[in-house]
Amino acid sequence: MSCSFDLDHYAEILEAGKVGGYRFAHFGNGPERGNIYLRHDIDLSLDAALRMAELEAEHDVSATYLLMTESVFYNLASSEGIDAIVRLRDLGHAVGLHAVYPSLQLDERFDPVVSWHNPQADYRSRSIPGVTNVYAEPFFDPPTYRSDSNQHWRSGCPHEELRGGGFPWLQILVHPEIWVYEGATMGLTMRAMLNAEKARRLEQLAADDIVLD
Ligand SMILES: [Zn+2]
Ligand SMILES: [Zn+2]
């Protein structure tokens, strides 16, 4: 099995979790033994989030999508953003806030779950009353945490340990953009994303009655 950052291997990771006897759980009570807390911080693309969400639903997997209200790359208040939240919920996923410190506006769109965007060490793991901070206890512990940040698993791709039931429980951070758009490096993957985005933007311009001749 090659640990490439594409949707085929992503599906293999999900299935490895099932073979290892894990359940896909939402943040809240716990963490319980045998739970996988599959988390997606959506930094760049709602399109990528939705494609990953559909794939997970096909595999009977439920995840937590943390969305930004202050992204420079997408607008959660637009019709596209509103539809994305509806679709994520319809597919059985949880939706929380990917917040930019110190702003923490948890309105009715979100479950009380927060991850900080590019957090600094001094507030990253601070607990927040009434809210689950995914970087705080009890859900954050380095031995039971894996992240694909910048297309690199710092402690290795987790598929083998998942298949063997090696983790008591696990929080996994997966950025959909890295898997939906393909490239051998983060730079190439981002360029693939921008090419797809350009095509999508041209369609949006045409739909907005902009003459493109
Ligand atoms: Zn792998
Ligand atoms: Zn982020």
Residue 118 Cα to ligand 2 midpoint, Å, equals: 5
| Whole-structure pTM value | 0.96
Ligand lying nearest the CA atom of residue 146 = 1
Kindly tell me if the per-residue pLDDT of 1 is higher than 70: no
For residue range 55-85, list pLDDT tens digits in order.
999 999 999 999 999 999 999 999 999 999 9
E strand spans, the chain = 23-25, 35-42, 64-67, 94-99, 113-116, 132-133, 145-147, 170-173
For residue range 117-155, list pLDDT tens digits in order.
999 999 999 999 999 999 999 999 999 999 999 999 988
Evaluate whether 15 touches 28 at the Cβ level (below 8 Å).
no
Query: What are the beta bridge partners of residue 96?
Result: 66
More confident residue, 207 or 2: 207
The stretch 168-178 carries a mean pLDDT of 98
pLDDT of residue 90: 98
Residue 86 Cα to ligand 1 midpoint, Å, equals: 31
In angstroms, rounded to a whole number, what is the distance separating the alpha carbons of residues 80 and 28? 28
Residue 209 Cα to ligand 2 midpoint, Å, equals: 33
The four Cα atoms 205, 208, 210, 212 give a dihedral, to 10 degrees, of 40
